[in-house]
Copies of this chain bind each other. A is one copy, B any other.
Amino acid sequence: MATIKDIARLAGVSISTVSYALNNDTKVSKKTRERILATARELNYQKNGIASDLKRSSTRTIALIVTDLSGPYYSELVKGIQEVTLSKGYDLLACSSVGGETSTAVKFLTEKRVDGAIVLAHNISEEIILQSARAKFPVILLDRKVESEYVVSIEVDNEAGSHMAAEYLIKQGHRDIAYISGMAISELHFMRIRGYERALQEHGLNSKNRLHQFGLFNRENGYSMTKMLIAQGKLSSAFMYANDEMAIGGLMAFKEHSIKVPQDVSVTGFDDIELAKYVRPALTTVLQPKYERGALAAHLIFQILEGQDTEPYYILPTQLVMRDSVSSKA
């Protein structure tokens, strides 16, 4: 593969002149520049971006780290990140944390391959994040709260969100409200549970034996947990699911058993993913401001890179989206 050295030799100029010409520096005369560009084309020269990054010691790219590249994407969130990143002339790349400590995500966090990271992957350890974050490598956390210099967390008010949902169910006359969750070690899901429990307490309702936690936060598990509860005859009047994916799994289980939603049981989710409004019945759920969150995350990266001060923590409001999966028992 041709390098600038080869071009220099062929064009009869020095290496630095080639570099200047290629980078459109005004120092080079038009004539030499053109000769250089011509021989570059002739050799099918391709810049080695890695060498260039090494020299500049800056990559002008930001990484978005997600649990699984093939997973259900928060498309609006990515859009927010993408637009801000591009407007700053930076590049954005996405990588996944499948593989744990040897994952691509860790490689990008710890090997200076990018200038900042936005993390939405609970399986990345806090230790790695703390070790990586520096003035020239800000880390924005979307899935947990961590207090440290050069890392800022942007959370959604999960507790208020599920509190709102529970309160709504109670107002609709539901007294026996189950909560279906996964085996959370994540702060996020603790908060959602807390909101649920608080609402029940405030209304003198019992949440004991109503909280079911097991497995992953995905559709399959929502489905199988619901089937299990149905089999055990534990049919509450309303089911709150930890997120929309699980709720959609639950909806499938109910349908299989000819249990009508919302006539027989009411269902709520959390997140307001795109599918939520398409499933039947359309899912009543809690919306989070996804685009704004993404855009804020990207903004903060640049603020920190530019040396400005930022809040260490943001919490964004949620909103109840009432659709058709909840009935009134009044």
Contacts and interface: CB of A to CB of B under 8 A. Distances in A.
A215 interface: no
A322 interface: no
A255 to B, nearest CB: 12
Nearest to A59: B50
Q: Name the residue among A73, A110, A134, A274 with the largest chain B CB count within 10 angstroms.
A: A73
A287 to B, nearest CB: 17
A216 interface: no
A323 interface: no
Contacts of A46: 110-112, 131-132
B112 A92 contact: no
Interface stretch (A31-39, A95-103, A142-150, A231-239): A95-103
A71 B52 CA distance: 31
B82 A78 contact: no
B113 A49 contact: yes
A92 B104 contact: yes
Contacts of A112: 1, 46-50
B111 A49 contact: yes
A76 to B, nearest CB: 7
Nearest to A282: B280
A94 B91 contact: no
A278 B72 CA distance: 15
A77 B70 CA distance: 8
A107 B91 contact: yes
B82 A47 contact: no
Contacts of A95: 91-94
Nearest to A137: B46
Interface string A44-76: 101111111110000101001000111111011
A217 to B, nearest CB: 16
B59 A70 contact: no
Contact of A278 (B78, B98, B279): B279
Given A46-B112, A46-B131, A94-B95, A70 B61 contact: no
Interface string A269-308: 0000011001110000000000000000000000000000
A318 to B, nearest CB: 21
Nearest to A248: B278
Interface in A1-17: 1
A178 to B, nearest CB: 24
Contact of A70 (B71, B82, B93, B132): B82
A79 interface: yes
A86 interface: yes
Contacts of A64: 69
14 contacts: A1-B134, A46-B111, A46-B112, A46-B131, A47-B110, A47-B111, A50-B54, A50-B59, A69-B78, A69-B82, A70-B78, A82-B96, A92-B95, A92-B104
Pairs A-B, 5 closest by C-beta atoms: A49-B111, A70-B78, A91-B104, A70-B79, A94-B94
